[in-house]
Structure 1
């Protein structure tokens, strides 16, 4: 690898994702092998990164991963890349506990120089004070340059460049104020396949970045030594271990490294609860989260798939369902239209999109003597029906406060709202033992 950088924001809404996508696509157009990463647990930005760059985007997360695992990930995925681009999370120093878990900590651990994205709307020379603070606050991060967003004119940018010069932070360019380069809502109503023409959007942003940002100078500021790939030995459960993973427009929130881990311990077959008539032959089934609420009628009418999944679970099959996958196992889901749609009828509860309220945050689940690490992000909620299932785990937030986040166990089914991470072999004994249970 020749270059690497972390794109950090002053805060959420600075324009990190827009600039990241534009830079990824611009470098891809230059025929560079671009490896994207994402700080934190986000599984939506990584999908966009992958589409913009043509390479799988990988999460780097201090809460769910060990430092050694993050170093191993970074070295492995960048071993054949020309440049690695890591998008930060929230503001550069925002973590789950002070600076702990922040983009700055990731940059320090992996020795990645940072390029700041600053929202310049309604400000000019005052940005000097902000840049001075970000440059000097924490010596563990090298802020090598800044790109401004929402710049109204060339004159506006001249004031901003003066601020950079007086602080000693290099101005690398800007994104002009344009309403048509905003990414639509990342949740309800966004279908990556149909509702948003991502390819033309990425090309448009790439052209803007090429026109207004000095990419050549950015590369000059972010060289690095070629990394030696760190090997991680993972043994298969057995040569014939069969794994079925749901993957379609309704179920697609899966961490790249989780899938890679599954591929190393067994043989994966992908299936679609929307289109396929039954499960493939499997020793373990994974139902990740996604957008089932956008496809309720189609999911509900695929009777044979619903029956196949219920039969598999009732006969002792191992199945892990997360968030949208867990909703799919409920008796029914009440959609945003207020209608009730029958589902797999495996868990004696209903899920509903009525009175939507966002629930999110890191979670530690204490289960069978193990600590399970993951993240919760959903707008739906569930209600028990006649036969109430009780949680088999105690859940805690990143700061150790008890959380009302259940983990259900029904026969060999584990289901809950938490998106769990098991890609780190030093922290996933719980997962391997679950798979090996008789």
Structure 2
């Protein structure tokens, strides 16, 4: 039998990610095959999930993905695991529009129970009406238990447990605060990965010391074990070779996108930081990441920059997203104001100075293709006023936004991380 549950919270900063990482690692340490998932478009948490569970994590999203596609993705990976742990996004019912795309919507669609983690550092019995509201707001969302986080004493926990008893939700215990398991800032980049292994192990030990994780499994959904070899649709013979950038600077990919590409193409990975030769390929994919942290190395590799520019001039198809788009510009300006030359395919510059967050779901209308993605960045573009956009872009609320899709010959670049794994046929925007 396999088990599945979703870790959610009433509000952000409750400890969902720390709990997910610690619980995933603990079960992995016990010999379980653990599959982690992340609700929403986040491609950073999935990297850390994969580290914790020792297995690549998968995104689940009801905005970017058609409902049946998302269900199929979950069932395919769940069938091959012993325990599936889904981390929610923001508060339980927080979605792009009302509760659309929320943890609750995904839990309901997948029919899996929710384990709530509550930041109770400043809470006592008043948590009772909050829990009551979460339990009754949508009865189809099954709250199977509560874990209270940042609780220092048994006397404090007594009030919280009484609240659970009043509301009729099982209390699964409490976790005291521990500075050693605090997750570092996500925008520090992958150079914090060497710290994460130690943090995850400490989180696993700390959580298991205070919470009975075998008992937690009793509150999850049980699935009969089935043949995990669910067929993945292919488009026949692999007709393409696609070079995919993969190193410290280019890491933000959706695993299902790469799996989709593998059904139509041979994938060759390369490093714009270290490699001196660009693989021969029909297409190049430059995903997002942290190019601003590696501007010196990227700029210093003039051989690779020149080869990518030459490939663009020859008409090779290139798709660049966010950090990949920055790499194709003329320069990247770091926070100190130093400009580093990049590939020079586009005349614009991107800068990390005067940072301002831009984020949200994006629907892209390109020719006869509708494709969804997500925008998340702090950098800004300059010197692009004379570059037209080749697509219309809308928010989840159907409001047109100014985010541009740039084109040079067969090169397409934008700040948007696209999700194309649900496409039925290969699209010009993707290959």
| Kept after mapping to 1: 8 A contact 2:182/2:199 | no
Alignment of 1:185-196 (within 5 A): 185-187=185-187, 190-194=188-192, 196=194
Question: Counterparts of 1:184 and 1:193 in 2: how far apart (Å)?
Answer: 11
Among 383, 386, 389, the residue aligned to 1:388: 386
* Equivalenced residues, count: 429
Do structure 1's residue 207 and structure 2's residue 202 form an aligned pair?
no
What TM-score results when the alignment is normalised by the length of structure 2? Answer: 0.97
5+ long unaligned stretches in structure 1:
none
Question: Counterparts of 1:69 and 1:93 in 2: how far apart (Å)?
Answer: 22
Displacement, 1:394? 1.1
Do structure 1's residue 265 and structure 2's residue 240 form an aligned pair?
no
Deviates more, 1:409-418 or 1:168-177: 168-177
1:247 aligns with 246
Question: Counterparts of 1:194 and 1:137 in 2: how far apart (Å)?
Answer: 39
Do structure 1's residue 410 and structure 2's residue 405 form an aligned pair?
no
Question: Counterparts of 1:381 and 1:75 in 2: how far apart (Å)?
Answer: 39
**Secondary structure of 1:151's aligned partner:** coil
**Secondary structure of 1:7's aligned partner:** strand
Question: Counterparts of 1:223 and 1:194 in 2: how far apart (Å)?
Answer: 34
What TM-score results when the alignment is normalised by the length of structure 1? Answer: 0.95
Alignment of 1:269-348 (within 5 A): 269-348=268-347
| Kept after mapping to 1: 8 A contact 2:2/2:225 | no
Displacement, 1:173? 1.7
Cα displacement string for residues 271-297 of structure 1 (whole angstroms, at most 9, x for unaligned residues): 111110121111110000000000111
Question: Counterparts of 1:99 and 1:194 in 2: how far apart (Å)?
Answer: 33
Cα displacement string for residues 242-297 of structure 1 (whole angstroms, at most 9, x for unaligned residues): 01100111000000100111112111111111110121111110000000000111
2:77 aligns with 77
1:115 aligns with 115
2:427 aligns with 432
Deviates more, 1:166-175 or 1:194-203: 194-203
Deviates more, 1:39-48 or 1:164-173: 164-173
Question: Counterparts of 1:366 and 1:303 in 2: how far apart (Å)?
Answer: 35
Cα displacement string for residues 107-140 of structure 1 (whole angstroms, at most 9, x for unaligned residues): 1111110000111011111111111111111011
1:101 aligns with 101
Instruction: Name the CA shift for 1:62/1:178 in 2 (closer, same or farther; >3 Å).
Output: same
Alignment of 1:200-239 (within 5 A): 200-226=198-224, 231-236=231-236, 238-239=237-238
Question: Counterparts of 2:69 and 2:98 in 1: how far apart (Å)?
Answer: 22
| Kept after mapping to 2: 8 A contact 1:72/1:232 | no
Cα displacement string for residues 214-255 of structure 1 (whole angstroms, at most 9, x for unaligned residues): 21111111132226565442214x434101100111000000
1:367 aligns with 366
1:126 aligns with 126
**Secondary structure of 1:348's aligned partner:** coil
The CA RMSD over aligned residues, in Å, is 1.5
| Kept after mapping to 2: 8 A contact 1:348/1:388 | no
| Kept after mapping to 2: 8 A contact 1:75/1:227 | no
1:379 aligns with 378
Do structure 1's residue 197 and structure 2's residue 192 form an aligned pair?
no
Question: Counterparts of 2:374 and 2:219 in 1: how far apart (Å)?
Answer: 34
Cα displacement string for residues 32-82 of structure 1 (whole angstroms, at most 9, x for unaligned residues): 001000000000000000000011110000111011111110111111211
Question: Counterparts of 1:398 and 1:72 in 2: how far apart (Å)?
Answer: 23
1:15 aligns with 15
5+ long unaligned stretches in structure 2:
none
1:39 aligns with 39
Cα displacement string for residues 386-432 of structure 1 (whole angstroms, at most 9, x for unaligned residues): x8321001111100111111001110001000000011134xx4x53
**Secondary structure of 2:90's aligned partner:** strand
